[in-house]
Amino acid sequence: MSEVVKSLQERRLRVWEQAKALADAAAEENRTFSGEEESSWQSLNAELDALDKRIKAVIDGEQRAKDAEDAMSKLRGEPRGKGGPEGPGDNEELRKFLRGEGGRTFDVRPAGPVSFRDLSKLSAAAGGATVPTDFYGQLVAHLIETSAIMQAGATVLNTASGETLQVPKTTAHSSAAIVTEASPIDESDPAFGQVSLGAYKYGTVIQVSRELLTDAGVDLEGYLSMQAGRALGNAFGAHAITGDGSGKPRGIVTDASAGVTGPAAVAGGFGSQSTAGQGADLLIDLFHSVISPYRMSSSCRWIMNDGTAGVIRKIKTTEGQYIWQPSVVAGTPDTILGKPVLTDPNVADIGVAAESVIFGDISQYFIRMAGGIRFERSDEFAFNADLVTFRALMRADAALVDLTGAVKTFTGGAAA
């Protein structure tokens, strides 16, 4: 808001207070306006109308000026935003790089803060229509769609560089108890540890024919963002589920707590629907093994692979109702007990001692992204095949930072 508009609005407020004082005085004395008061009232209202018109005219004029400046900037090919560069994600700079008119390296970074939880391409209703169309947004969207952990709302920390980041992790909460009069209060501190988030390097190589590069009708940016995003997402996504922390991120299953163990002699499965403590009962127990504050989180999810999902879809409650509820809105996840279900091929199959179902507050899983995603181009690597080679590099690490039971798993029971 400009200073002119602020000044006019302040003036309007003062005039309104004067008019209100006249009306209040007459109301308190239960009388009509005197001739002088009526004249003042009319004059003040006329001034209010004039101020309203001036304020609207100034706001409209400022908006027209901004629209004109944006239009001229677009015609001149300048970056979006008044006087500020859009950053390395600028599409024209990217196209020059892809054509070999720039340097060999191109850093793809967000122009500002990024909410990874909002980057969903499931459908327009789920936010697909609002996904940024810049190269960084497309690339990250493809990365997310291949990793259930990132889809589920993991907390993402963006850092400019890759120095080791120390993140506190909670291992136990404080407790309280009734204290009698004049008795000492026992100390109960939360227990913390530390998890170190480094920056493991993930890379992929994509080769493109010279003809594809020079064909103006090809959406090369979309192709490269899809190929690089999916490749990096698949590699990181596997570690985000089962990584052991040795030369790779710590997966969510590695640090999650045991929630429910299945019955024996059913090959690690869910047992009989008609037997108490088996079938749907196991999933209900797993649901309630995660305490309410974590279950209430918007990032509380079920994660399993497709094979396990196929088994659970057939499980019914004792009332004969399927525990799996399909979504009625295209593009939104199905639910179990009201919580969304995501599938990830990296979660273990149903089996003895296998942790085949994950449930809990996925926002307690922290992903550290070090810088942007670096693209490098080589015209020499496949010179004899007339191919241009692109290399995409990403640095990331991850770990579960709340070990008090924010995320629980279903473990297959022992063999007979």
Residue 295 CB coordination number (10 Å): 18
Domain regions of the chain by residue span: 3-76, 88-416
The partner residues of 367 in beta bridges, in order of sequence, read 156, 398
Fold topology of 88-416:
Major capsid protein gp5 fold (3.30.2400)
The span from the CA of 203 to the CA of 375, in Å, is 10
Range among 4-18, 162-176, 221-235 rated most confident: 221-235
What is the full DSSP assignment across 372-402? -EEEEEEEEEEGGGTEEEEEEEEEEEEEE-B
The span from the CA of 150 to the CA of 366, in Å, is 10
For strands 407-411 and 257-261, give the pairing.
Answer: parallel
Contact 376, 109 (CB under 8 A): no
Range among 15-24, 175-184, 268-277, 285-294 rated most confident: 285-294
- Model confidence over 106-159: pLDDT tens digits? 666 655 444 444 444 344 343 343 333 466 667 777 777 788 898 888 988 888
Q: Is the pLDDT of residue 78 over 60?
A: no
Instruction: With H, G, I as helix, E, B as strand and everything else as coil, classify residue 337.
Output: coil
Which of 208 and 284 is assigned the larger pLDDT? 284
Per DSSP (E only), the strands in 210-345 are 257-261, 300-304, 324-325, 335-336, 339-343
Phi, psi of 283 (to 5 degrees): -70, -35
Which of 172 and 220 is assigned the larger pLDDT? 220
Q: What is the pLDDT of residue 81?
A: 45
The span from the CA of 223 to the CA of 214, in Å, is 14
Residue 402 makes CB contacts below 8 A (sequence gap 6+) with 169, 170, 361, 364
Mean local confidence (pLDDT), 9-29: 80
Q: Give, rounded to a whole angstrom, the gap between the first and last alpha carbons of the chain.
A: 73
Q: What is the pLDDT of residue 177?
A: 63
Q: Is the pLDDT of residue 388 over 60?
A: yes
Q: What is the pLDDT of residue 51?
A: 79
Least confident of 16-20, 286-290, 312-316, 410-414: 16-20
Residue 393 makes CB contacts below 8 A (sequence gap 6+) with 201, 202, 203, 373, 374, 376
Phi, psi of 84 (to 5 degrees): -120, 140
What is the full DSSP assignment across 146-194? T-HHHHTT-EEEEESS-S-EEEEEEEE--------TTPPPPP-PPEEEE
The span from the CA of 144 to the CA of 153, in Å, is 10
Which of 317 and 251 is assigned the larger pLDDT? 251
Residue 25 makes CB contacts below 8 A (sequence gap 6+) with none
Report yes or no on whether pTM surpasses 0.85: no
Strand order in the sheet with 355-361: 257-261, 407-411, 355-361, 300-304, 339-343, 335-336, 324-325
Residue 108 CB coordination number (10 Å): 23
* Length, in residues, of the chain: 416
